[in-house]
Amino acid sequence: MTKPLRHARDTLTHELETESILALALTETGLELARSLGLETRALSPTSVLSDLWDRYDVFVIVAAIPIAIRLIAPLLRTKATDPAIVCLDETGAFAVPLIGVHHGANRVANTLSKLLGATVVTTTPSDLGDHSALDLISGMTPRGSVASVQRHLNEGGVVQVIEDLPWPLPARFPRGESSFRVIVSDRRIAPQELDETTAQLVPPSLIVGVGTSTTCSTQELRELLTQVLLDHELDEAAIACLATIDRRRDHPALTSLGLPIRSYTAEELDRIVVPSPSVTVHRAVGTSSVCEAAALLASESKGDLIVTKERSNSATIAIVRRSVPSGTLFVVGIGPGSPLQRTREAEGAITNADVVVGYSAYLELCEDLLHSGQLVVPFPIGQETERVDRALEEAIDGQRVALVCSGDPGVYAMASLVFQRIQERNDCNIEVTVVPGVTAALAASAEVGAIFGHDHAYLSLSDLLTPWKVIRDRIEALGPTDIAIALYNPRSRERRSQLDEAIEILRSYRPPSTVVAIARRVSRPGATISLTTLAEFDSAVIDMETVILIGSSTTRQHGSRAYTPRGYGQRSSAADHNLQAEVTPSP
């Protein structure tokens, strides 16, 4: 039986962006497996009916044989737009099978379970079996028209002509080309005759609807006004990204009944927005000259066009902003020193959910279990750091969700600094950047041998490709007498042979010959070696660029195959230890 999987629930909820997950099982063996995932779990009998649970959860993991699972869910199936994601897991945890709800993440659930349990994913959707884009799975887009026939064409390896009324970002690997099959990207209401058997439409979430209402406005009145405004301006209701209104109307039943996200603003915020249709009467009543127009513009962050000015019924007003095409996002991701066990859940989620993954080819190999056919993976040879960053930025500017993969931590001798430097130099990158931290090689090496970094410590790179050797040498001279542990990165390469020996000689002049030294090569990767030596016995001949060297302080101690640096100097009294414990232990 599978051992309990710590943080498994967190992994699932983070990658799927929902906590509405329920695991169901018929036997005690199945329940044990479900509980090991850390999910909310319920027992079922073969005659159980899921009708009471069906609309309450986004994802169901059913631990049972497929025929039983099918009989349980069959009476409840409605449409692929509304049905939850269902994944069947056998009682041994060997196979994860998405049954329905690919649109709601069933394949992603199965892939996540595969990573947690080592299960084989049984996928039958053509877009996942091949290397195709699934029109009805493009994030944020609503498909219209002859989706099935166009998708069939794509599944057979075809390309489509993309007609962009709006240049909304499509997946980086979307198969564009000259073709009789078309995909129209548009938020307008397209007549059925335009969407023939070779044409599909993708409706982007491009519209923000500003709404003003009186307290007496009915749900029917607001719905009728919205429907008429959309019809008059030939706009597709599926393009509505959200509603926007004044804060005092956020919970008004007429708005909440529309089932759309609602953003709200104070009267003071709204009154600062210049609008074409201000009203003295509205200002007298609520403290702002505009609600619907101002709210729609505010929700677009002033990056959209007011394409429908205020239109009214007896008790409601509506205005519509078409927001600007969104920029993408860039995640600068640290995957740790190499082992999947030392990757964070945030890092795995950023890579798995990316449209484009960029990185040094060796680093991409270290996280290949997170990559999938729907992504554009862009490997680079060693070096070319600027080229890597620029490619990642270009993809993000084009609207893609991009993961730039680094080993260790992105901010420690890696790509995060260069990303921000290039953004500042280019001055054309209106994108969101998230740095996802990772475990450094030095931290992993310190952990392997014990706790050499138990007290103050420093990181230092011996590479003089970007920093003059004199500057590096001065820093070694400065760190030598500080008596803190030091991690030496990039110690030796084929071209740089003398710097490491010089650094060790400097440190020997300040530190005892018995100073503990840890040599960690390929830490946490296949073929890793970890050894302890001393400054006196240190041999640079065994060192290469895949090695990190940890130089201890005068207090660093070796005990067998382990080494550690005490948290302070001298021996602590038992009373002091008691006081320290009192500081860090909360009162009951």
| % pLDDT > 90, the chain | 62
Confidence of residue 123 (pLDDT cuts 50, 70, 90): confident
Dihedral of CA atoms 511, 514, 516, 520 in degrees, nearest 10, equals 100
Neighbour-count burial of 569, counting CB atoms closer than 10 A to its CB (0-12 exposed, 13-18 middle, 19+ buried): exposed
- The predicted structure's pLDDT at residue 321: 97
Q: What is the distance between the alpha carbons of residues 454 and 556, in angstroms, rounded to a whole number? A: 9
pLDDT surpasses 70 at 470: yes
Confidence of residue 47 (pLDDT cuts 50, 70, 90): low
Structure tokens at 569: 């100097």
Neighbour-count burial of 471, counting CB atoms closer than 10 A to its CB (0-12 exposed, 13-18 middle, 19+ buried): exposed
Q: Which of 60, 52, 70 is nearest to 22 (CA)?
A: 60
- The predicted structure's pLDDT at residue 573: 35
Mean pLDDT, rounded, for 34-43 = 86
Q: What are phi and psi of 251, to 5 degrees?
A: -100, 20
pLDDT surpasses 90 at 284: yes
For residues 257 and 117, the model is more confident at 257
Confidence of residue 512 (pLDDT cuts 50, 70, 90): very high
pLDDT surpasses 60 at 575: no
pLDDT surpasses 60 at 449: yes
- The predicted structure's pLDDT at residue 12: 65
Q: What is the distance between the alpha carbons of residues 407 and 409, in angstroms, rounded to a whole number? A: 6
Q: What is the distance between the alpha carbons of residues 288 and 278, in angstroms, rounded to a whole number? A: 9
Residues with Cβ within 8 Å of 7's Cβ and at least 6 positions away in sequence, in order, are 38, 345
Mean pLDDT, rounded, for 47-73 = 87
- The predicted structure's pLDDT at residue 131: 57
Supply the DSSP string of 544-556, one letter for each residue: -TTEEEEE--TT-
Length of the chain: 588
End-to-end CA, the chain: 37
Least confidently predicted of 12-21, 134-143, 463-472: 12-21
- The predicted structure's pLDDT at residue 129: 53
Mean pLDDT, rounded, for 372-378 = 86
Contact assessment for residue 33 and residue 91, using Cβ atoms and an 8 Å cutoff? yes
Contact assessment for residue 443 and residue 450, using Cβ atoms and an 8 Å cutoff? no
Q: Is the dihedral of CA 33, 39, 41, 47 positive or negative?
A: negative
pLDDT digits (tens, 9 = 90+) for 144-188: 999 989 988 988 889 999 999 988 988 888 889 999 999 999 999
Q: What is the distance between the alpha carbons of residues 258 and 38, in angstroms, rounded to a whole number? A: 35
Q: What is the distance between the alpha carbons of residues 544 and 539, in angstroms, rounded to a whole number? A: 12
- The predicted structure's pLDDT at residue 373: 75
Neighbours of 148 (CB within 10 A): 13
Contact assessment for residue 537 and residue 497, using Cβ atoms and an 8 Å cutoff? no
Confidence of residue 128 (pLDDT cuts 50, 70, 90): low
- Architecture (CATH level 2) of domain 8-124: 3-Layer(aba) Sandwich (3.40)
- The predicted structure's pLDDT at residue 570: 64
Tokens 């320290």: give the residue: 580
Q: What is the distance between the alpha carbons of residues 113 and 125, in angstroms, rounded to a whole number? A: 18
Structure tokens at 197: 């058997």
- The predicted structure's pLDDT at residue 481: 94
Mean pLDDT, rounded, for 262-275 = 96
- The predicted structure's pLDDT at residue 574: 39
- Architecture (CATH level 2) of domain 207-323: 2-Layer Sandwich (3.30)
| % pLDDT > 70, the chain | 91
pLDDT surpasses 50 at 286: yes
Q: Where are the domains of the chain?
A: 8-124, 135-203, 207-323, 329-439, 442-564
pLDDT surpasses 90 at 226: yes
pLDDT digits (tens, 9 = 90+) for 297-337: 999 987 889 999 999 999 999 999 999 888 789 999 999 99
Confidence of residue 70 (pLDDT cuts 50, 70, 90): very high
pLDDT surpasses 80 at 280: yes
- The predicted structure's pLDDT at residue 588: 35
- Architecture (CATH level 2) of domain 442-564: 2-Layer Sandwich (3.30)
Residues with Cβ within 8 Å of 525's Cβ and at least 6 positions away in sequence, in order, are 337, 338, 339, 366
Contact assessment for residue 436 and residue 333, using Cβ atoms and an 8 Å cutoff? yes
pLDDT digits (tens, 9 = 90+) for 73-93: 999 998 877 889 999 999 999
Mean pLDDT, rounded, for 427-454 = 91
Contact assessment for residue 310 and residue 282, using Cβ atoms and an 8 Å cutoff? no
pLDDT surpasses 70 at 225: yes
Q: Which of 92, 140, 307, 322 is nearest to 238 (CA)?
A: 140
- The predicted structure's pLDDT at residue 187: 96
- The predicted structure's pLDDT at residue 535: 95
Q: Where are the alpha helices (DSSP H) in 287-344?
A: 292-299
pLDDT surpasses 80 at 11: no
Mean pLDDT, rounded, for 566-582 = 51
- The predicted structure's pLDDT at residue 14: 60
Q: Which of 178, 176, 168, 107 is nearest to 142 (CA)?
A: 168
Structure tokens at 205: 């979430």
CATH code at 329-439: 3.40.1010.10
